[in-house]
Amino acid sequence: MAKLLSLACFRNEGWHNLSARSHYPSMPTFPKGETGTSSTAAEPSEVTALFSVLGMTCSACAGSVEKGIKRLHGIHEAVVDVLNNRARVIFHPSFVNEEAICEAIENAGFEAAILTDASNENSIQVCRIQIKGMTCTSCSTAVESALKAIPGVQKAHVALATEEAQVHYNPNIVTHIHILQVVDDAGFEPTLISSSEDLSKIDLHVEGHDLNDHSILILVEDSLRSLPGVLELHTTLEFNKISLSYKPDITGPRDFINVIQETSSGNLKAKIFPGEGGRRDTHRKQEIKKYYKSFLWSLVFTIPVFLTSMVFMYIPGIKDALDSKIVNMLTVGEVIRWVLSTPVQFIFGWRFYVGFYKSLRRGSANMDVLIALGTNAAYFYSVYSVLRAATSKVFEGTDFFETSAMLISFILLGKYLEVLAKGKTSNAIAKLMNLTPDTAILLSLDGEGNVIREEEIDSRLVQKNDVIKIIPGAKVASDGFVVWGQSHVNESMITGEARPVSKRKGDTVIGGTVNQNGVLHVKATKVGSESALSQIVRLVESAQLAKAPVQKFADRISTYFVPLVILISLTTWLSWYLAGRFHTYPKSWIPSSMDSFELALQFGISVMVIACPCALGLATPTAVMVGTGVGASQGVLIKGGQALESAHKVNCIVFDKTGTLTIGKPVIVNTKLLINMVLREFYELVAATEVNSEHPLAKAVVEYAKKFKDEENPSWPEARDFVSITGHGVKAIVRNKEIMVGNKSFLVDHNIAIPAVAEDLLAEAENMAQTGILVSINGEVAGVLAISDPLKPGAEEVISILKSMKIRSIMVTGDNWGTANSIAREVGIESVIAEAKPEHKADHVKNLQSSGYTVAMVGDGINDSPALVAADVGMAIGAGTDIAIEAADIVLMKSNLEDVITAIDLSRKTFSRIRLNYVWALGYNMLGIPIAAGVIFPFTGFRLPPWIAGAAMAASSVSVVCCSLLLKYYKRPKKLNNLDIRAIRIDSSSDPLIIHED
């Protein structure tokens, strides 16, 4: 009984509360005695400071730091960034200083240090780079190694499938410009996609007659620089572009546009620079167009070469014309093939020469090396044959011009299909990015909050604290909360939740979701890169760049693959050449149009071109890309290949109770009065005491007490001498009565006798998985409240399905043993660990791991951070707007337990697809190389011409990508479709059981 209220991990801001506003209503926005609207000289000016915060792992940690800072007087705003381990604090220096803020952070359990200059952040920054010219795993490995060798670079991930790199670096040691230079020096073409500095940066396109007036431009620049919140400005006259870095909390793009127009008296107009954010899609389209165009033109030249070499030679008349001599033994057909194949070799195949040169320059070998060697061997031997025929009256050589031309054409076709397929693997990101509406309806309000004007603007111009109107059928333009109206919003495109969600005043909405049946007025809280949608996009992008551990296998192979293939190719040629020279095989094996040297050369070229490492390099990243994209569409955010690989091995899942197995919102279900008293008066006294507490159970009591009041925000009697004892209860003087609300030990410690009937009620509540609260008035137990936290829909069925999947389920909770065992029995969990502190949960996870289990931890991310990090796979229930900074490897956005099964099943399907891809990739090479080398030729007479080998090589890459693309049709397990999820309804309007005891 002593721990009925010790639910320290119990928070009311769980999965259901997505508000970006402060969760600490007792905290003043300004210091006491100050107001936000005052402009008197007495008001202290605000100062912004940056702090390094080490030890944070998730949004729960960020919340703890933010809460600790905001409790200080004089704090105007505190924003904690887990990704960059920093906190930005705006404060009034007359009331608080940096040292006090550092101390508050350290008291929250983290290491803090002051960053001296807010504009030159010492924290780690991230940049994303588009890299052109990578053809296989050896290329991406070479770039990654070059990036990691740069001083100041902490992490670098290079993805072959997306042709992108993500680099974490210290801006005080290295800049993104230097990083781009290193990539360029490695032989590739880098283009900056984004950097940390761009998160609050915008490019404006300026037009007008006064654009050439230097004085007007200087005036505009000065006006923009003088705006509060503008950090940096740069003008590029060549493109009529003005680039600005700014603080989104203070200003925004609409302010910039207005300043430009007003300063120039309307002669200059500005808009957001075209193409903002579309660079990746543009690059993909350009690449597809480039390969398509190259393939078509190469085909125009290759088809005649093929016809003159393979078809027309068997048509009388045409054959005679082609065989007619020009000079000595040089024929018309040879000249035609030479002329037509040369553009294919040196114009359309030039990219392979460039790749060959760059690869050798950096001391490695890639696919371009194999293609260049193979096609050059065929082409230049043919040139030798033609020149010798032109100078000899007896030499009748055979050319291989069709081999080099058809090889290049087939490889270009393969690359075109590969790029086309790879573009489809990132469709999930494209769909997410297209969710934001093009326009928004901006509302202008008067001092009393009445709408005085509506204006349609570009949705990218929405700024923080704007009020926007969302009509039925329209998309929500930004994250925010409802200030007026009532409707249902379809959030399936963001959370995967199919059912529309009811929204009313105070509820949060997510940008990109669709309003259905009512008009809403929404106050914007997160815009641009801060929005939930932008964070989800960045998370999915990062996930697609992260390598799965299994990919190390492909990376190791690719290091030695190309040199080994070249060695095998030379060995094949030499073996067949020597065998022919010493007549170790019958002359009948040699085709009539060749000699032994040419036969050996064809075998060698075939080996060289069929063995391509492209498929091997694409096997893992393409499957990870599609898998993470499909997961995002299902409301399951998987943070990369590591999480996918670990999740498919999970055989034990540890569940937190509160907010995970249960709803996380306690409600009063039973009231027992032990004295004669009016219920309304009883709850007034209890609510007046509990309203000062932030404990979730206290909030449940206050919320229920509101039903006895007519007002929406009732006032409670004054509570004096309020005292709160964590994990036990609270006491105060209300209306000259000493009120105590808490657990049994709290009252016993204050020498209050617990009657037998109260003991029985507490035991009964515990057996029913309820929490019992005792209320004492003037030293006498006056009543017992029973509070319940209902189970989540489908919890029992989910545990049952996990058992059928041979996955063990364990519950770990900070609640007491009685309540924990009761909940466990209800859902079907046999192993229970109760009264566990947050740090002890991680120890239990480690104990399971040492017993040989691959452990997944499922928690709400609030107090489960240590356990989420310690587990092989951390799964966070609930997303909200802090989706990108969870400690978990997998985030279940819908907060449905059934998505735990979806996440594990998707990881298993994705990993099986990766295995299948490796079978395809290695199978082609293991089967194709011996055939190309002529191993079966002596027995079957079958040989693989180089151009067919080239087609097979191209097909291997395409087949691997297509195999990964089949994951797009993933369906969650049928058991979940047949799952009858019962609805939970809590009717707060009905009275709980009330019994009066005389």
Summarised one tens digit per residue, pLDDT across range 772-788 is 889 999 989 999 998 88
Convert 785-853 into a string of H (helix), E (strand) and C (coil).
EEEECCECCCHHHHHHHHHHCCCEEEEECCCCHHHHHHHHHHHCCCEEECCCCHHHHHHHHHHHHHCCC
pLDDT of 429 > 70? The answer is no
Residue 88 confidence class, pLDDT cut points 50, 70, 90: confident
Q: What is the pLDDT of residue 238?
A: 67
Return the closest-CA partner of residue 954 out of 377, 183, 305, 298: 298
Residue type, 839: E
**Over the stretch 550-564, which tens digit does the pLDDT of each residue have?**
777 776 776 777 788
Q: For residues 311-329, b (16+ Cβ closer than 10 Å) or e, as one string?
A: ebeeeeeeeeebeeeeeeb
Residue 32 confidence class, pLDDT cut points 50, 70, 90: very low
Which of 859, 888, 904 is the C-terminal boundary of a domain? 904
Q: What is the pLDDT of residue 578?
A: 92
Same domain, 355 and 455: no
Q: What is the pLDDT of residue 191?
A: 82
Average pLDDT, the chain: 78
Residue 283 confidence class, pLDDT cut points 50, 70, 90: low
What DSSP element (H or E) covers 817? helix 817-827
Calpha distance 478→529 (Å, rounded): 11
Q: What is the pLDDT of residue 338?
A: 93
- Per-residue pLDDT averaged across 486-506, rounded? 78
Same domain, 214 and 163: no
CB 967, CB 427: distance < 8 Å: no
Is residue 95 a part of any domain in this protein? Answer: yes
Q: What is the pLDDT of residue 58?
A: 60
Evaluated on CA atoms 57, 63, 66, 67, the torsion sign reads negative
Which two three-digit tokens encode residue 446? 């008067």
Is residue 21 a part of any domain in this protein? Answer: no
Q: What is the pLDDT of residue 775?
A: 93
Better pLDDT: 731 or 770: 731
pLDDT of 652 > 90? The answer is yes
652-656 and 808-812 beta bridge pairing: parallel
Cα 998 to chain centroid, rounded: 61
CB 649, CB 807: distance < 8 Å: no
In this predicted structure, which of 39-48, 320-329, 498-507 has the lowest mean pLDDT? 39-48
**Over the stretch 588-632, which tens digit does the pLDDT of each residue have?**
888 776 778 888 888 888 888 787 667 777 777 788 888 888 888
Count up the domains in the chain and report the number.
8
pLDDT of 23 > 60? The answer is no
Residue 923 confidence class, pLDDT cut points 50, 70, 90: confident
pLDDT of 100 > 90? The answer is no
Residue 506 confidence class, pLDDT cut points 50, 70, 90: confident
- Exposed (0-12), middle (13-18) or buried (19+): which is 261, by Cβ within 10 Å? middle
Same domain, 624 and 655: no
Active site residue 656: yes
CB atoms near residue 581 (< 10 Å): 11
Q: What is the pLDDT of residue 809?
A: 92
**Over the stretch 850-889, which tens digit does the pLDDT of each residue have?**
888 999 988 875 567 778 878 888 888 764 334 434 567 8
Q: What is the pLDDT of residue 340?
A: 93
- Per-residue pLDDT averaged across 241-263, rounded? 80
Residue 574 confidence class, pLDDT cut points 50, 70, 90: very high
Residues of the domain holding 763: 667-788
- Per-residue pLDDT averaged across 680-706, rounded? 85
Is residue 249 a part of any domain in this protein? Answer: yes
Concatenated DSSP letters of 223-288? HHHTSTTEEEEEEEGGGTEEEEEE-TTT--HHHHHHHHHHHTTTSEEEEEPTTTT-HHHHHHHHHH
Same domain, 468 and 480: yes
- Exposed (0-12), middle (13-18) or buried (19+): which is 991, by Cβ within 10 Å? exposed
Same domain, 725 and 840: no
In this predicted structure, which of 28-37, 277-286, 902-911 has the lowest mean pLDDT? 28-37
**Over the stretch 384-425, which tens digit does the pLDDT of each residue have?**
888 988 888 877 767 778 878 887 888 788 778 777 766 665
Residue 120 confidence class, pLDDT cut points 50, 70, 90: very low
Return the closest-CA partner of residue 782 out of 744, 720, 739, 721: 739
Q: What is the pLDDT of residue 978?
A: 63
Same domain, 352 and 305: yes
Which two three-digit tokens encode residue 837? 């502190």
Return the closest-CA partner of residue 425 out of 163, 148, 209: 163
Is residue 746 a part of any domain in this protein? Answer: yes
Nearby residues of 536 by Cβ (< 8 Å), 6 or more positions away: 432, 494, 632, 637, 883, 884
Q: What is the pLDDT of residue 906?
A: 92
pLDDT of 701 > 60? The answer is yes
CB 429, CB 487: distance < 8 Å: no
Lay out the sheet containing 514-515: strands in order across.
501-503, 487-490, 514-515
Same domain, 300 and 407: yes
Better pLDDT: 164 or 522: 522
H helix count then E strand count, the chain: 31, 37
Cα 493 to chain centroid, rounded: 15
Is residue 982 a part of any domain in this protein? Answer: yes
* CATH number where 153 lies: 3.30.70.100
Which two three-digit tokens encode residue 335? 């000249």
What DSSP element (H or E) covers 552? helix 551-581
pLDDT of 37 > 50? The answer is no
pLDDT of 647 > 80? The answer is yes
CB 374, CB 407: distance < 8 Å: yes
pLDDT of 995 > 50? The answer is no
Same domain, 138 and 207: no
Which of 97, 115, 133 is the C-terminal boundary of a domain? 115
Is residue 527 a part of any domain in this protein? Answer: no
pLDDT of 296 > 90? The answer is yes
Is residue 518 a part of any domain in this protein? Answer: no
The CA radius of gyration of the chain, in Å to the nearest whole number, is: 35
- Per-residue pLDDT averaged across 442-461, rounded? 83
* CATH number where 497 lies: 2.70.150.10
Same domain, 264 and 138: no
Same domain, 653 and 801: yes
Which of 247, 273, 299 is the C-terminal boundary of a domain? 273
Same domain, 772 and 695: yes
Report the length, in residues, of the chain: 998
Q: What is the pLDDT of residue 47?
A: 77
- Per-residue pLDDT averaged across 937-943, rounded? 85
In this predicted structure, which of 393-402, 513-522, 791-800, 927-936 has the lowest mean pLDDT? 393-402
pLDDT of 117 > 60? The answer is no
Residue holding tokens 């994303």?
A: 128
Contacts for 756-762: CB closer than 8 Å, 24+ residues apart: 757/672, 757/674, 757/997, 758/672, 758/674, 758/784, 761/672, 761/786, 762/1, 762/4
Nearby residues of 710 by Cβ (< 8 Å), 6 or more positions away: none
Q: What is the pLDDT of residue 16?
A: 31
**Which of helix, strand or coil describes residue 164?**
strand
**Over the stretch 340-352, which tens digit does the pLDDT of each residue have?**
999 999 999 898 8
Is residue 9 a part of any domain in this protein? Answer: no
Active-site residue among 368, 507, 656, 905? 656
In this predicted structure, which of 24-38, 264-278, 374-388, 572-586 has the lowest mean pLDDT? 24-38
Better pLDDT: 984 or 484: 484
Same domain, 896 and 909: no
Residue 60 confidence class, pLDDT cut points 50, 70, 90: low
